[in-house]
Structure 1
Amino acid sequence: MTEPSTAWREVVAPDEEHRHVKQAEAFTAMQLRKSAEFGVGRALHRRQRVALRATLEVPADLPAAARQGVFASAATYEVWLRLSNGGFDVAPDSKPDIRGFAIKVLGVPGESVFGGPAASQDFALINHEHFSSSTSEEFTAITTGAGGGAVGVLKAVVRSPRIVGGLKEVVGAVRKPFGGFATEDFFSAAPIKCGPYAARVRVLAASTDVNPAAHEDWPADVYGRLATAPLVHEVQLQFFLDEERTPIEDAAATWDSPYVTVARLVIPQQEPDEAFAAKVEAARFDPWNAVVDHRPLGEVMRARKVAYRPSQENRGAD
């Protein structure tokens, strides 16, 4: 593998904390409006489509740089998966949208980023390699504006004309054809620590066999595949090399470094389980549910730290 660098740095602006609080308030207001319409739920990725049990299998022969955190030694972990439509509305599966692939790795060793033993290591992934906006400020303006429909988008553009480019990027991302949760790659789109290194995360598709009718019912596609065989995904890390090729603070950048496989995510054959699905729906999937060696990095991740907590409290998350 290409030798990664430990020379990554975060750059925190003096007014960042204030801006992040204001952005969290905007998301909270949108969440409450949508909960009044659709019932209590998340601000984004509101519609859970599939809840699955899985295992994360870490091999013993990883490169030295990858042997950090949950990948430090050979192990098999219990995993919960939440597969979702990314929007703030409860929309049909056929509607174009960002899709989410949230992973909760249970029983992990190590200290939490907040102190004390870690309860889990979470990875929040989407079906796009990077975010549509470089900063959380742009992302908030676009997303909360879109939450208000066409009028909301127009108001957002009037307030912040610079978001037009990001808005076009979002429209392009949402309209990109989606083949299904088993046949698409998913990405963290922002970096995390990997011990002294930094990396983005990717989960590779388990299959290349796309079902043309899958977009009408994502759960039926997933469970139909599981009726015949397990789904096996590769988990990969993409390491920081330098600020030009792999910038830490620019969430809209596509990183130019190779991926390294560090684990297998195995989804065994199973049928829908309503009680388990309710437990997953109530759970907190948060990139800041992390061990110290996998602390989230970059401005967008720091903004998520502030925004997720009130969202979780508003829906009474477990």
Structure 2
Amino acid sequence: MFTPALPSPLARLWLRIGRLLIRLLLWLLVLGALGWLLGTAWYAWKFSGPVADQEQIPADEAAMTQDIIQTAVRIVDQHKEQTRYLRDAHAKAHGCVKAEVTVPQDLRNDLRQGVFAQPGQHWNAWIRLSNGNAYPQFDAIHDARGMAIKLLDVPGTQLLPNATGSDGQPLHEQDFVMFSHANFFVSDVAEYRQNIAAQADGKQAMAFFPSWDPRTWQLRHLMIAKATLAGAPASPTLATYYSVSPYKFGSANAKFRVIPDPASCPAYSVPAENTDLPNFLRTALFQQLSADRQPACFALQIQRQDARRYMPIEDTSIEWREADAPFETVARIRVPAQDFDTPEQNLMCDNLSFNPWHGLEAHRPIGGINRLRKAVYQAVSDYRHSRNAGQ
């Protein structure tokens, strides 16, 4: 009769360890699932409406803003090239192109606000397309992508009445500044000050982990930042761009976005580019507009705040959900075929200043990040242009 051999003491030990590890793994899975459910429930409760429909300005915001201006100027100094000072963000342009922005003839009455008040109105515009980083890095590197629109010859009183252009003449413009993610990786001015200071000091890890105290860790914002730094689109004309921060839209509050609108242009497929080349996004833009002589089309849309939902003004880390408020088209953008990649136009592009505060009261920027922009954009622009003028 065959009698199986008993496992050795060492084998029995390994079996016990294996059973313990399996139980431990099961417990970890249960705890992880429970933590995820609790976290989801907590965030659902925390980020639920209603919210204020008016700005809430912290008492120390002005002092924090001055700190941020000094840090931003320091970043401009750090990024100086041999012949010029660069922007503190969106330093690398793929090109500045001429565009036509048209208000639809059938625009509803409640959407006729500011520069969209007259159906059929045509605005001439400049559009600057860019990478988000403060360094002019390769396009293939994960990054945010930017679109800034400047409507020209806009009548009416400007929000910054003393602002002048590079020719010294008073501005008559409406700017829309957007980038390729729906929400920002900081909530407010206080978080922005801490984040930008860490980055300026070369301590990127401290941007989201300011101390050893886990209560100060900004894990959700870190995930937003990682999502923002995405791979490059095949062309700047194929990306969607968001204002991120809110603005007045007549008596309402709203966010803007620009989406590709291929149905409004002749059919065109963007040729594949060699993504190993450092400037392939400029090449793609050149191929479409200059070589193939094909226009690009977009729709400019707004999303109006519903204060009964969790659509806060003062927290730019919160994406306003389309389920709570849909986007509505208020203008069509057409970028005609053109030759834009010339030394003269590239220099003009570098000298153009885009600022959400260049515009009308009907589109006044609101919220802490926009109030910060008012001071920082102007200070950095003045500093950069004064230094470049002396080169």
Asked if 1:25 corresponds to 2:70, the answer is: yes
Provide structure 1 residue ranges, at least 5 long, that are not aligned to the other structure. Answer: 1-6
Q: 1:109 aligns with which of 155, 171, 176?
A: 155
Q: Which runs of 4+ in 1 moved over 6 A?
A: none
Q: Deviations over 1:137-163 (max 9, x none)?
A: 3234334433554xx123445645434
Q: Is the Cα–Cα contact under 8 Å of residues 142 and 167 in structure 1 kept in the other structure? A: no
Match of 1:4 in 2: none
For residue 70 of structure 1, give the secondary structure of its aligned residue in structure 2: helix
Provide Cα deviations, 1:151-195, integer angstroms capped at 9, x if missing partner. x12344564543444233212320355343111111101111111
Residue 109 (structure 1) shift? 1.8
Does residue 285 of the first structure (1) align with residue 365 of the second (2)? Answer: no
What corresponds to 2:8 in structure 1? Answer: none
Query: In 2, are the aligned partners of 1:30 and 1:144 still within 8 Å (CA)?
Result: no
Greater CA radius of gyration, 1 or 2? 2
1:41-79 Cα offsets, whole Å, 9 max, x none, are 110111112110111111232122211110000311110
Aligned-pair distance for 1:314?
1.6
Choose which of 121, 129, 134 in structure 1 pairs with 2:174. 121
Cα distance 1:129–1:214, how it changes in 2: closer, same or farther (>3 A)? Answer: farther
CA shift, 1:38, in A, is 8.2
Q: How does 1:46-65 map to 2 (within 5 A)?
A: 46-65=91-110
The residue aligned with 2:286 is 223
The percent identity for this pair of structures is: 26
C-alpha distance in structure 2 between counterparts of 1:180 and 1:213, whole Å: 9
2:144 paired residue number: 98
**AA partner of residue 199 (structure 2):** A
Aligned to 2:37: none
The counterpart of 2:189, out of the listed 130, 136, 141, is: 136
> What SS does structure 2 have at the residue aligned with 1:204?
strand
Query: After superposition, what is the alpha-carbon deviation per residue over 1:274-312, rounded to whole angstroms, capped at 9, x for unaligned?
Result: 212211210110001111111101111111111111110
| Structure with greater strand share of residues | 1
| Superimposed CA distance per residue, residues 245-272 of structure 1 (whole angstroms, 9 cap, x where no aligned partner) | 3211111111131011111111000122
Which amino acid in the other structure matches residue 59 of structure 1?
P
CA gap of 1:157–1:273, structure 2 versus 1, over 3 A, is same
Of residues 317, 320, 335, the one that matches 1:255 is: 320
What is the distance in 2 between the residues matched to 1:23 and 1:164?
A: 23
2:372 aligns to what? Answer: 303
Contact preservation (8 Å) 2:180, 2:228: no
Count of residue pairs the alignment pairs up: 310
Higher mean C-alpha deviation, range 65-74 or range 55-64: 55-64
Q: Matched residues in 2 for 1:37 and 1:153: separation?
A: 26
Q: Hey, what's the Cα distance between the residues in 2 that align with 1:65 and 1:38? A: 49
Instruction: Describe the SS at the equivalent of 2:260.
Output: coil
Which residue pairs with 1:242 in the alignment?
A: 307
Match of 2:241 among 186, 190, 195: 186
Cα–Cα, structure 1 residues 173 and 189, in superposed 2: closer, same or farther, change >3 Å?
same
CA contact (8 A) 1:296 1:302 kept: yes
Q: Residue 81 and residue 214 in structure 1: after superposition, are their counterparts in 2 closer, same or farther (change >3 A)?
A: farther
How far apart in 2 are the matches of 1:47 and 1:235? 23
Partner of 2:337: 269
Shift of 1:273: 2.9
Residue in 2 that maps onto 1:202: 257
Relative to the length of structure 1, the TM-score reads: 0.89
Structure 1 contact 142–163 (Cα < 8 Å) conserved: no
Is the 8 Å Cα contact of residues 101 and 123 (structure 2) preserved in structure 1?
Answer: yes
Query: In the alignment, residue 218 of structure 1 is paired with which amino acid?
Result: L
CA contact under 8 A between 2:234 and 2:281: conserved in structure 1? no
- CA shift, 1:214, in A, is 6.4
CA RMSD of aligned residues (A): 2.3
Provide the rounded CA distance (Å) in 1 between the counterparts of 2:83 and 2:312.
Answer: 38
Paired AA for residue 222 in structure 1:
L
- Does the 8 Å CA contact 1:79/1:103 hold for their aligned counterparts? yes
